[in-house]
Amino acid sequence: MKHTPKEAIMYEPSREFLNFHVAGFSHWYGYKVMHKLVPGAKLHFVPEPDNPYDPNAVALYKGKTKIGFVPRACNVELAQLLRFGHTDVFECCVTAVDPTAHPERQVRAKVLVKDARK
């Protein structure tokens, strides 16, 4: 016997593109804006193709303050899309903050694909 729900629930795929701990947080200036790094706070990225350590480096900023990077293990596709001008496709926000954790684990963020249907 086939079961038919009263209301059909439409599947909505996740907009999440990346989810990570901010890399290099202990080496940059996140501590200066820690009070602004709350879940939901918007971050913006700046590709750093001339970065001597990683040509795919994508720096993360809160306002004008550099707080670290998208980790090297997951930055290749994002860096390539940003290099080709697709800066309006993504948004980044803080998802969790734990000031008591090791500095490289204090801030977690995610990159979402913007929903252009709205």
Of the pLDDT bands very low, low, confident and very high (cuts 50, 70, 90), residue 103 is confident
Give the residue extent of every domain in the chain.
Answer: 16-113
Q: pLDDT digit string (tens) for 8-46?
A: 677 677 789 999 999 999 999 888 999 999 999 999 999
> Quick check: 36 and 29 in contact, CB under 8 A?
no
Mean pLDDT, residues 50-78 taken together: 96
CATH no., domain 16-113? 3.30.70.2330
